[in-house]
Amino acid sequence: MRAALAEVPDPELPVTSIVDLGMVHGVSVTDDVIRVELLPTFVGCPALDAIESAVRDRLAAFGRPVELAFTFVVSWTSDRISQEGLAKLRSVGVAAPISPGVEPVCPWCGSNDVVLDNLFGPTQCRSLHYCRGCRQPFEAVKRT
């Protein structure tokens, strides 16, 4: 089932999957039902309905009812993003999260000479930065 879920892209970062982002908390399969627990990246994430729909559509091929729940039994953190997920994010110019209070590394040139341009990016989970090295703007996943 995890392999099937690895094909479900995140609607806001479609280069990655919900598995790459570490959103899949649990999956169980019985003769009767497929149960999936997902961890939202942020409370009130506007993409949750789209994620739920994509998961249901992908798992429909298995011919069992799907019980899907978003859970907060543990908090999602940016540490859950896989190494492959981090590489995919960098490939499209999105920096990986790092320690609080430390600016991210530019995904385009690798420079540490970056500044926070705006805490509020295109989504709740990203902020905007500017690289003084290559003079390119970029997004960074917020560390949570």
For the chain, domain boundaries: 2-79, 94-141
Determine the pLDDT at residue 100.
Answer: 73
Position 139 pLDDT exceeds 80: yes
Cα-based distances in Å from 97 to 5, 80, 89, 90, 139 = 23, 11, 11, 11, 10
CATH number of 2-79, picked from 3.40.50.620, 3.40.50.1110, 3.30.300.130, 3.10.28.10: 3.30.300.130
For the segment 96-113, what is each residue's pLDDT rounded down to a tens digit? 877 777 779 999 999 999
pTM for the full predicted model: 0.85
